[in-house]
Structure 1
């Protein structure tokens, strides 16, 4: 009987991790143009963001530190980049466990404060990100570029 209880407990603990990995695996491939997104990223995002892989290699951007590292953002839990100090509003969104997918990313980068206010249903919510990507197509292309650098995988966990 003890083996049965131990097995059942282990399975119950594994369910949340499996569900999280299922969400990442079920993410839809981006609809934008990754090549165009690279050009746009290098024009609009590098002042504040870097894309640095797990080995420390810079894949895009400079050594910027105003914004979080965007490596692996596709499928990552919102507001969960290790070592980055998010604002209060984005930290509140991170508690929901929602993941960055194309729709969330595109909407956010076009109007960070507006997205936070709507997501949190809080008219006082503010974003530390002041820059806005003006065109939806450009935001979609930037997401496609970031997705191409590290697509979400079944075995990835939120960082």
Structure 2
């Protein structure tokens, strides 16, 4: 019995490790809402601007096009349309995805947290 428990624990650890590396694993928008608390300093959840643009309707929006916000040339010329995959990559490393953007953020390295945050962003209408 001890061997079965040990093998079960090892399988569970591998399953969790693989899931944490897969951005589509966690789709917990409520957890994403909690993660977003750190983003509220610069971003609103509606269409109003703060230091950064409002994030309502971000999924499906062309980058650099929210009316009234003064975007960097890098963002305006990025050619990006925000979807789940590009939001995940951007939140991991904003300067890698859009070099020269003005967002002073080093990135969210935890893939599960990013997936949950993206799930929350997708609810913003």
Report the TM-score when normalising by structure 1: 0.57
- Which stretches of structure 1, 4 residues or more, deviate above 2 A after TM superposition? none
Q: 1:115 aligns with which of 58, 72, 97?
A: 97
Q: Which residue is equivalent to 2:100?
A: 126
**Gaps spanning 5+ residues in structure 1: where?**
1-29, 57-63, 117-124, 151-159
Q: Which residue is equivalent to 2:34?
A: 39
**Gaps spanning 5+ residues in structure 2: where?**
1-24
Q: Which residue is equivalent to 2:124?
A: 149
Q: Give runs of aligned pairs for residues 1-159 of structure 1, distance below 5 A.
A: 32-42=27-37, 44-52=38-46, 65-93=50-78, 96=79, 98-116=80-98, 125-131=99-105, 132-150=107-125
C-alpha distance in 1, partners of 2:110/2:97? 15
User: Of Structure 1 and Structure 2, which has the larger fraction of its residues in strand?
Assistant: 1
Q: How many equivalent pairs are there?
A: 101
CA RMSD of aligned residues (A): 2.2
C-alpha distance in 2, partners of 1:32/1:85? 31
- Does the residue aligned with 2:30 lie in a helix, a strand or coil? helix
C-alpha distance in 2, partners of 1:86/1:149? 20
C-alpha distance in 2, partners of 1:79/1:141? 23
Report the TM-score when normalising by structure 2: 0.72
